Amino acid sequence: MRRDLSMDLIRVTESAALASGKWMGRGKKEEADEAATQAMRDVFNSIQMKGTVVIGEGEMDEAPMLYIGEQLGTGEGPEIDIAVDPLEGTNIVAAGTSDALTTIAIAENGNLLHAPDMYMEKIAVGHEAAGKIDINAPVIDNLSAVAKAKNKDISDLVVAVLDRERHGKLIREIRDSGARVKLIQDGDVAVAISTAFEDSGVDIMLGSGGAPEGVLAATAIKSLNGEFQGKLLPYTKEERKRLQQMGIDDVNKVLLMEDIVKGDDVYFVATGVTNGDLLRGVQYNQNISTTHSIVISSKTGTVRFIEGRHQTNGNK
C-alpha cells in the first residue's frame, strides 16, 4: 500500500469526528452516528484506492452507506479491505462522557476477518504479556501470567471490563483475585488498545463485546506487538449460520491474531470525539477546531499522535 496513505486516512477519521462531535451531549446518538458516517464516506471516496468495506454499518439492506461490500475510493490504486466504526460510542457522545472515537482499519485485500455483527469474547494485553495469555484459561491464571510478565503483584493489576450484567461473575472473579476493575460504560476499542501503552493504567481487558470492534482493536494491538484473542459468541440460528458461511464450524474456535488480521501491512487510525484516556476530544473554537488522532502502521512499527487544526466557517 502507498506509504502516504496514512495522511488520507487521518482526513477520514478527522472529518467524522468533527461532524459527530457537534452532537456531543445532545442526547441524539442516531444523529451523531449519521453525521460521522456521511462525513467518513465522503472523504473515503476522494482517496485514490479500490476499497471494499468488510466491517461496516451493516448489510446492504440495513445501512444506506458504509455497508458491508460497499466500494469506496476513486477506483484507482491499491485494493484494500476496510473496517470502519464511524462512531465508536454513540451513547458516549449522546451523554457527553469519555472515550468516543471515529476509527478505521485497513489491510491488503483478504487480510481482515469479516467479523459478523455479533458478540465476541475478548482478551487483550500489551507486548509484555504477549504469548502469556489464553482466552480459555481461568481468570486467575491469566491475571497471574500478566502480573508475572509485567513484574507486578496481582493486586496492582487494573482489568478493564464493560459494565454489563452479563459480566457479573467475571467481575467477582477479578475482584476475588485481588486485582482492580475498571468498568467501561460503552466502547471497548479505546480501552483494548490502551493495554498496549504502559502509561495507560490498564493492564488487561476481559469480557465480551462487539465482534467488529474486536477486529478494529486487534489491528491496532497487533501493530503495537500486543496480543488479542477472541471467540465469536452466536446466540441465534442466524448467527450460527453466519459462522458456518465463514467456514467456522466450531463455535468454540479461538481466533488468534493471525486469524483476525493477516499480513504485515496494516493501518489503524482513530480520532477522538470526546476526551478519553487514549485521545482528546474535538475542541470547537470560533474559527479553528482541533482534533487529536492516532495513526499506527504495522509495516513500519510507527505510532503517531497528531493534533489537527481545522479552519471552520464561524457561522457553522
- List residues forming the annotated binding site for substrate: 88-90, 119, 164-166, 186-188, 210
Q: Which residues are annotated as a binding site?
A: 33, 57, 85, 88-90, 119, 164-166, 186-188, 210, 213
Q: Which residues are annotated as a binding site for Mn(2+)?
A: 33, 57, 85, 88, 213
Helix axes 29-44, 5-21, angle to 10 degrees: 150
Ramachandran assignment for 27, one of left (phi > 0), alpha (psi -120 to 50 degrees), beta (any other): left
Please check whether residue 272 is in contact with residue 158, taking contact to mean a CB–CB distance below 8 angstroms: no
Please check whether residue 154 is in contact with residue 254, taking contact to mean a CB–CB distance below 8 angstroms: no
DSSP per residue over the chain, as a string?
A: --TTHHHHHHHHHHHHHHHHHTTTTSS-HHHHHHHHHHHHHHHHTTSSSEEEEEESSS-TTT-SSS-TT-EES-S-S-EEEEEEEEEE-HHHHHHT-S--EEEEEEEETT-B----SSEEEEEEE-GGGTTS--TTS-HHHHHHHHHHHTT--GGG-EEEEE--GGGHHHHHHHHHHT-EEEEESS--HHHHHHTTSGGGS--EEEEEEEHHHHHHHHHHHHHTT-EEEEEEE--SHHHHHHHHHTT---TT--B-HHHHB-SS-EEEEEEESS--SS----EE-SSEEEEEEEEEETTTTEEEEEEEEEE--TT-
CB atoms within 10 A of CB 86: 29
